[in-house]
Chains A and B, each alone.
Chain A
């Protein structure tokens, strides 16, 4: 009597059909991503095979024509990371500050307006950011870049070897920094809103100022989620293509001088060089695309794991 009896939940043929159909689409989505990686690898293989994978990852130049092709993603990867880091350094404090303003300081009506404006910032096409960055942001930032290089040159990243301050990784990074504000701000806002009300009110009832509440209740709670949001912003910045392509002018020298001209990210380089460089060039660009793909995949997955753990776990 007390052995459980197996109940078949579903006898209906139509339901089985529905489940199978829906499931196959779900699996199709999965297959698609795997296929993207597989095809990129397959088609870029000639580029990897030429001098080996290690060489591809460590060579800085990108000459694919002529008798002695020599190419690799080292410089591109380096500058991708530099631009993304500048973007994070510029964008994250602004985004987190905005999120704090929205969740802690703004009156309710202003809050809704601000959130809508940030939504709008998120849908501005990146090519528009590129235009604006090139024609408006850059002329205004060049002076500041010179100022930094003159007065703060004892910090290595602010030193320069040339006096051309336009088309630099710094300017591209600032532009991308503005572009990642919406995503970082959105995650940060969500995390701040989940900070425990009890502790918050407890601190306030003890006479704490808002700053104290933020420092002692909100921030400790939000730290991990914010780390995730930073990674998310980093992933987005790494993949940003068109805006960076409009700003930078590619060079293949790895240097710490972010304020001077030079440096291009992988994504921007692909957009700029696509269709030039012959067959080997195509393969090499695909190889670069694959490296970018793997790199952003790792960063994004890491980010979503962290964000989900800190947001999802506490919501229930």
Chain B
């Protein structure tokens, strides 16, 4: 709450709200996220160990690696969704603009508003209309924009998610009636509507067809200007297409997941230092 009231006015003071064809105004301030020595346990079993990673502001960071190496768990730690799972524990720090999100003063609900998340499977709220879905995050924090303010916000968010032109006639239909790819973009719009500083995406395209995947990848590139994006993906081409930085997670047999190599996407794919990285990105295992 405190944080948001700090960020939102800054966004509103932004000069001249500008012609429609250029909707990509900077309305949020992207923040850098730093994971420092993060470990995680499920029911006492160590699943990731001492992962440190810097996710630079306004950049897209891709987390790659085979299944079961802790990428998704790591991602969920970044916005305090990890602790929702029963039996989940963690160690280490996650710094958002230098502030530990696990600090005693931090509320998980507020942290999650600042660090939004898009899930693997599209999960719009089926009982809400497209419009209400976009506004749901605000509703949860007790805000109810009305009239033109609401319409503008819905249009802006749907536009940023690359969905507005497809659904502008259907804003009052239920969110579950859209196609899979549209649903996922609706979830992105919903996540952006709370004006987060960071957007986490957990394999956002794995349940989608190629053309929807392409649309979402474009969206990712576009929103990266104002939101730091962290994306988990299995798809090497996707990582190469969308990300600025990459981190490769690997887990040995019965060993927790770790980062094997991190760096700029170009380096990881063209000039990997670790042999395992080279094997993985060239599809020799995993």
Contact = CB atoms under 8 A, between A and B. Distances in A.
A2 B102 CA distance: 16
A1 B50 contact: yes
B90 A1 contact: no
Given A4-B91, A9-B83, 17 more contacts: A1-B37, A1-B50, A1-B91, A2-B46, A3-B91, A4-B39, A5-B89, A5-B90, A5-B102, A6-B89, A7-B89, A7-B90, A9-B84, A11-B107, A11-B108, A12-B107, A12-B109
A6 B41 CA distance: 11
The interface size bin for chain A is 10 to 19
20 contacts: A1-B37, A1-B50, A1-B92, A2-B46, A2-B91, A4-B39, A4-B41, A4-B89, A4-B90, A4-B91, A5-B91, A5-B102, A7-B80, A7-B83, A7-B90, A7-B102, A9-B83, A9-B84, A9-B108, A12-B109
A1 B109 CA distance: 26
A92 B84 CA distance: 45
Nearest to B77: A7
Nearest to B82: A7
A5 B91 CA distance: 5
Interface of B: 37, 39, 41, 46, 49-50, 80, 83-84, 89-92, 102, 107-109
Interface of A: 1-7, 9-12
A4 B91 CA distance: 5
Contacts of B37: 1
A1 B52 CA distance: 12
A1 B108 contact: no
A16 B50 CA distance: 33
A4 B50 CA distance: 12
A159 B92 CA distance: 81
Contacts of A11: 107-108
Mostly helix, strand, loop or mixed at chain B's interface?
strand
A1 B89 contact: no
Contacts of B109: 12
Nearest to B44: A4
Contacts of A12: 107, 109
Contacts of A5: 89-92, 102
B61 to A, nearest CB: 23
B48 to A, nearest CB: 11
Looking at B41, B46, B108, the one whose CB has the most chain A CB atoms below 10 A away is: B108
Contacts of B39: 1-2, 4
Contacts of B89: 4-7
A2 B83 CA distance: 17
Nearest to B49: A2
Contacts of A10: 108
A41 to B, nearest CB: 39
A5 B90 CA distance: 6
A2 B44 CA distance: 11
Contacts of A9: 83-84, 108
Nearest to B84: A9
B212 to A, nearest CB: 31
Leading 5 A-B pairs by shortest Cβ distance: A4-B89, A7-B83, A5-B91, A9-B83, A11-B107
Contacts of B90: 4-5, 7
Contacts of B83: 7, 9
A191 to B, nearest CB: 30
Nearest to B93: A5
Contacts of B107: 11-12
Contacts of A3: 91
A3 B39 CA distance: 9
A1 B91 CA distance: 7
A238 to B, nearest CB: 39
Contacts of B84: 9
Contacts of B91: 1-5
B258 to A, nearest CB: 13
Looking at A6, A7, A12, the one whose CB has the most chain B CB atoms below 10 A away is: A7
A4 B107 CA distance: 19
A122 B272 CA distance: 69
Contacts of A2: 39, 46, 49-50, 91
A5 B80 CA distance: 13
Contacts of A4: 39, 41, 89-91
A6 B87 CA distance: 11
A7 to B, nearest CB: 4
A45 B105 CA distance: 58
A240 B252 CA distance: 63
A65 B80 CA distance: 71
A140 B237 CA distance: 78
A150 B89 CA distance: 75
A5 B102 CA distance: 10
B91 to A, nearest CB: 5
B219 to A, nearest CB: 32
Nearest to A7: B83
B134 to A, nearest CB: 24
A38 to B, nearest CB: 35
A4 B39 CA distance: 8
A6 B83 CA distance: 10
A209 to B, nearest CB: 42
B44 to A, nearest CB: 8
